[in-house]
Amino acid sequence: MGHTWLKNIYFNMEEKQMLLLVDEKDNFLGKYAEKEKCHLRQGLHHRAFVVLLENKKGEVLLQKRKHKLWDGYWDLSAISHVLHYSTHDETYEEAAARSLKREMGISAVSLKKVGAFNYFAKYGKNCENEYCAILLGEYDGKINPNKDVVYEYAWVKREEFIKDVLKQREKKYTPWVIYTMTNLFLPKHVAMIMDGNRRWARERKLPVFIGHRYGFNRIEPTVSHAADLGIKYLTFWAFSTENWNREKREVDALMNLFRRMFSGSLVAKLKKNNVRVKTLGDISAFPKDIEKDIQEVVEDTKNNTGITVNFALNYGGREEILRAVQKIIAEKPKEVTERIFSDFLYTAGQPDPDLIIRTGGEQRLSGYLPWQSTYSELYFTNTYWPDFNEKEFDKAILDYISRERRFGK
């Protein structure tokens, strides 16, 4: 009876808190609302935060805590809301320090905001509608968890934690764990060189176009899996400027695949799943019916808010840079910086690829995204593209996670 009474006091206290209302870019709206109103029906968009502490051993601190919706799931080191008091509004750092002290008995930790995500979900009559800041800190001291709030805690090796989240996801972890892991540790942009279709077919004594067809069938599952992981941009090199030099029969087979790609079930699935489709390259070289279909798909999906999928079509890296230089000469901007130059590339407005994956055993980029790949991590696999399934994709992601990105430092 006593435990239930304490738990109810905890929840009632939380419901009477006054939260700060913000837009999706964290601009304060000058308004406040009780926590209960922020979490009913559609909810009011408000400030929240998560804290992830790491020790010198490379372990992250996780906890299981009492929660209306996620009771007993593994969560981050601290999680709560930024509060309004009669005297002032908390900063993220103040709110996080309060939460760490109350939940885990931890004080005097230096915290840094390293990212954020907007999160909305409905659970019956309840909902979450938050701008959630991500704060990181280092801590090697003692922990004294509040047993009225926290069931248990554990220090877990960072790589093992990430691997387990990728495998278990909603079965074991709260949504905030998944969103935080995605924002901090996963690549935002993955670019693919889909190599090995022809060798895959030849080893099976099949016509070359069968290899391309099987490769084509790997695109949608890869997009779906990447989107599920939280990757924001995915780029496929589907046809290079040099591919026109292949045998006419093979080129014709590829054109027919593109007709099927941009007017058939693949595009229907991408549209249904809120995918935004863009192209890199000069598509005017394609047959007019294909060019028209591509343009229609790009136009029809331009307002979609899910993963952005780029198809590099008639793409060559040197050609892209020359095109950018020609546009700069024509438009004559007042100055040309790296940022301005990037605005003249096909990928304008998108982050550079964090990870480039090449299947098929070759270990070169072959002119793929030469400007954008300056600091990309490279992953080469002997697996041919038609065999590059979700497990192979996860291997590349886990390899990426294990690397320390220095960016020249």
> What is the C-alpha to C-alpha distance for residues 201 and 282, in angstroms, rounded to an integer?
28
Instruction: Note the helical H segments in 204-238.
Output: 208-216, 219-229
**How big is the chain, counted in residues?**
409
Tell me if 128 sits within 8 A of 50, measured CB to CB: no
> In 186-339, which ranges are E strands?
189-193, 233-240, 276-280, 308-315
- Sign of torsion over alpha carbons 245, 246, 252, 254: negative
Q: Which of 75, 183, 195, 354 is catalytic?
A: 195
> What is the C-alpha to C-alpha distance for residues 406 and 409, in angstroms, rounded to an integer?
5
Burial of 284 from C-beta contacts in 10 A (0-12 / 13-18 / 19+) = exposed
> Across the strands, what pairs with 51?
78, 135
Catalytic residue check, 75: no
> Across the strands, what pairs with 154?
62
Q: At what angle do helices 265-272 and 219-229 cross, to 10 degrees?
A: 10
Catalytic residue check, 243: yes
* Residue 241 neighbours by CB under 8 Å, 6+ apart: 281, 314, 315, 316, 319
Tell me if 228 sits within 8 A of 306, measured CB to CB: no
Active site amino acids: 195, 243
